[in-house]
């Protein structure tokens, strides 16, 4: 398996963290930082942070799980690395898991959030979904809707899809899929006492800029002949998604996450075959 998880403790105390309130309205604060070393820009983020309790979520771990899943399904996405590191928060050194990613912009590109780009370029009365299809982004959008169903992504707001433009070359593209921390069982955190009561197929209300508040209903936006054809992985291959994650999350929680992804994958396979 890839070296996406570094458990040997690293020193990232040089990073400066900024507080970013989660746009979906979920309680908590998310801290972000970046570094520029040897002309390479790297972005870092933490799981849900509470000024009293410290790091209380596992959203960074979700990023790695989804990263590996999308690689298995052959879907273009931003690659992440999970690093066990010392950082400085509120003037104190603490050890936590840090999620790192490279800058997905190519030389000469600038970025703009999809919701802002839509407001600049849309036709009168045109909805975001139809706008994206007119732009020629249907494959990307259809794959994104399926992915968000499989992982129950709660946070696909208009800035979590980015448009990358190179004005000199006159090119435009969508950034690889990114930011999947608020998915799966992110709100369960370390409390596993209620796991038996969680319905992993529940159609929870989500935020989706180009669709509805239901990831299940959003599957119906995709024409039958355009439904992405994902090969369901073999069990051994599927289990590799969780390699080394079992050293981080409680077994009960990891088993529930695994069940959630697997059952939703199988549901989509049946949905695609029946539609």
- Position 65 pLDDT exceeds 80: yes
Q: How many domains, in total, are found in the chain?
A: 2
Both 79 and 128 in one domain: the answer is no
β pairing state of 162-166 and 92-102: unpaired
- pLDDT tens digits for 127-186? 999 999 999 999 999 999 999 999 999 999 999 999 999 999 999 999 999 999 999 998
* Mean pLDDT for all residues in the chain: 91
Q: What is the spatial distance between Cα 158 and Cα 23, in angstroms, rounded to a whole number? A: 10
**Token code pair at residue 9:** 């403790």
Which of 125, 102, 118 has its CA nearest to residue 158? 118
Q: What span, in angstroms and rounded, lies between the C-alpha atoms of 159 and 116?
A: 8
- Domain's final residue, options 47, 67, 102: 102
Asked if residue 257 and residue 192 are part of one domain, the reply reads yes
Q: What residues have CB less than 8 Å from 80, skipping those under 6 apart? A: 4, 63, 64, 67, 99, 100, 101
pLDDT tens digit sequence for 179-231: 999 999 986 655 677 788 899 999 999 999 999 999 999 999 999 999 999 88
**Same domain flag for 247 and 269:** yes
Are 160 and 226 contained in the same domain?
A: yes
**Which among 138, 146, 139 is positioned nearest to 265, based on CA atoms?**
146
Give the whole-angstrom CA distance, residue 21 versus residue 88.
19
Phi and psi (nearest 5°) for 181?
-65, -40
| Same-domain pairing of 117 and 12 | no
Angle at which helices 251-274 and 59-73 pack, to 10 degrees?
Answer: 40
Last residue of a domain, one of 102, 119, 144: 102
Q: Where does a domain end: 70, 102, 134?
A: 102
54-55 and 49-50 strand pairing: antiparallel
Q: How far apart are CA 81 and CA 180, in angstroms?
A: 13
Helix (H, G, I), strand (E, B), or coil: what is residue 50?
A: strand
pLDDT at residue 55 above 90?
no
Same domain, 79 and 131: no
Token pair 């799981």 is at which residue? 47
Question: What is each CA distance from 234 to 35, 117, 142, in whole angstroms?
Answer: 38, 40, 24
Please indicate, yes or no, whether residues 156 and 262 belong to a single structural domain of this protein: yes
Identify whether residues 143 and 61 lie together within a single domain. Answer: no
Give helix 138-151 / helix 59-73 axis angle, nearest 10°.
Answer: 130
Predicted confidence (pLDDT) at residue 236 exceeds the cutoff of 50: yes
**Same domain (yes/no): 145, 250:** yes
Residue whose pair of structure tokens reads 């963290």 in the numeric block: 17
Q: What is the pLDDT at residue 20?
A: 63
pLDDT-derived band at 30 (thresholds 50, 70, 90) equals confident
With vertex at residue 88, the alpha carbon angle to CA 87 and CA 89, rounded to the nearest 5 degrees, is: 120
Q: pTM for the complete prediction?
A: 0.92
Does one domain contain both 75 and 161?
Answer: no
Residue 61 near residue 45, CB atoms below 8 Å:
no
Residue-range definition of the domain harbouring residue 26: 5-102
Shared domain check, 212 and 144: yes
Residue 46, Cβ density class (10 Å: 0-12 exposed, 13-18 middle, ≥19 buried): buried
212 closest CA partner among 156, 272, 163, 171: 156
| 165 and 98 together in one domain | no
pLDDT for the residue numbered 26: 37
């Amino acid at each position: 398996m890839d070296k996406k998880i570094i458990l040997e403790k690293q020193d990232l105390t040089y990073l400066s963290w900024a507080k970013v309130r989660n746009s979906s309205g979920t309680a908590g604060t998310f801290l972000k930082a970046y570094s520029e070393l040897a002309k390479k820009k790297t972005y870092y983020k933490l799981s849900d942070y509470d000024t009293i309790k410290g790091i209380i979520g596992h959203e960074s771990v979700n990023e790695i799980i989804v990263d590996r899943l999308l690689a298995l399904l052959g879907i273009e996405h931003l690659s992440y690395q999970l690093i066990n590191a010392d950082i400085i928060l509120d003037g104190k050194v603490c050890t936590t898991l840090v999620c790192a990613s490279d800058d997905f912009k190519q030389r000469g590109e600038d970025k703009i959030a999809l919701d802002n780009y839509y407001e600049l370029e849309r036709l009168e009365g045109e909805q975001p979904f139809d706008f994206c299809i007119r732009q020629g982004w249907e494959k990307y959008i259809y794959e994104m809707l399926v992915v968000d169903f499989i992982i129950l992504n709660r946070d696909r707001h208009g800035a979590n899809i980015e448009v990358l433009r190179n004005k000199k070359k006159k090119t435009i593209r969508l950034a690889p899929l990114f930011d999947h921390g608020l998915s799966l069982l992110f709100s369960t955190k370390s409390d596993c006492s209620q796991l038996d009561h969680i319905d992993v197929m529940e159609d929870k209300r989500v935020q989706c800029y180009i669709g509805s508040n239901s990831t299940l209903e959003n599957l119906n936006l995709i024409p039958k002949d355009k439904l992405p054809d994902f090969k369901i992985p073999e069990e051994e291959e599927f289990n590799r998604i969780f390699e080394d994650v079992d050293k981080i999350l409680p077994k009960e929680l990891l088993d529930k996450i695994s069940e959630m992804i697997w059952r939703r994958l199988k549901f989509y396979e049946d949905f695609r075959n029946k539609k």
